[in-house]
Amino acid sequence: MRKQVLYSIQSPYREAMDIIGYKFGKGEKAMCVVGSMRGNEVQQMYVCSQLVSRLKELEREGAITDGNEIMIIPCVNYYSMNLGKRFWTMDNTDINRMFPGYSLGETTQRIADGLFREIKGYTYGVQMASFYQQGDFLPHVKIMETGFTEHEYMNDFGLSYAFVRTPRPYDTTTLNYNWQVWGTKAFSLYTNATDTIDEPSAKIAVDAILLFMAKRKIIDAKIINGYNTEIINENRLIQIHSQTAGIYKSYVKAGDEFKSGDILCEIIDPLEGNIISKIYAPINGIVFFRYNRPLEFEKTVLYKIIRT
């Protein structure tokens, strides 16, 4: 293993922020995994730390295929992480909306530029992404539909579900999109937590990345096969919204199957305690996403479901 400072930015008030990469093997740039770019992405950093630990063992065993270099970057934005803020501490901008970056621009543009200069050129790239909505969901892998990455590669992660996302204008400044434009087959991998550590889904993510590397012949190791992946266009997810605000009581969780007409949740009046709304399943399906806060507002997305 080789530990390297990929980019450093000075601060007048604190020590320099160094973006550190851990490299394994030597040769062609085969695989790069990027962890937390936002200050609340603790789970994403944790997954990368566990990858570093596993790859140390594999390297000692000689299991990294000759001619391949793997790089893991556990954390990009620990300034914000130290302060408990999701975005950049000074101006609240998002590093993952600044790619490919600009060396003479704002701070987050310069960070994106410094990082991207080091990670472009890898054959495969995985970003440990976080879900923008508050809730629980099934671990999955996702690609942007740019035409540069084949859908079939997502099968090699061995996860139950993979999603294809049609890019919107604001997606064009994300790492995933720009990685693809610059020739890297890029994937976003999601676990079931962000600002907490969820051990089961973290292990699923680590095993999925190692399985992908084994199937791509980057490592020579026996990794237990996962599932037959179902690839779904993200637009096929059916959203169920609340019709009124109140206390949210769910009867299903992520991964549960249900039939049309089954009760999914009740909304309770927060002051008087009576049930003011019940939501029933409109179709047969599986819960992909479930809102997980006790209070919800009118029009909140409570569930995203996969039709079965």
- Tokens for 124? 């495969």
The CA-based angle 197-203-209, given to 5 degrees, is 120
Predicted pLDDT of residue 131: 81
Predicted pLDDT of residue 97: 95
Predicted pLDDT of residue 226: 86
- Tokens for 19? 């973006």
Predicted pLDDT of residue 89: 86
Report the Cα 216 to chain-centroid distance in Å.
Answer: 21
Predicted pLDDT of residue 147: 83
Residues of the chain with confidence (pLDDT) below 70: none
Predicted pLDDT of residue 224: 86
Give 90-143 pLDDT, tens digit per residue. 899 999 999 999 999 999 999 999 999 999 999 999 999 998 788 999 999 999
Predicted pLDDT of residue 90: 85
- Tokens for 230? 């179902």
Question: Which residue in the block uniquely carries the two structure tokens 């927060």?
Answer: 270
Q: Tell me the whole-structure pTM to 2 decimals.
A: 0.93
Predicted pLDDT of residue 73: 98
Predicted pLDDT of residue 159: 96
Predicted pLDDT of residue 27: 96
> What domains appear along the chain, each with residue ranges and CATH number?
2-233 (3.40.630.10), 237-307 (2.40.50.100)
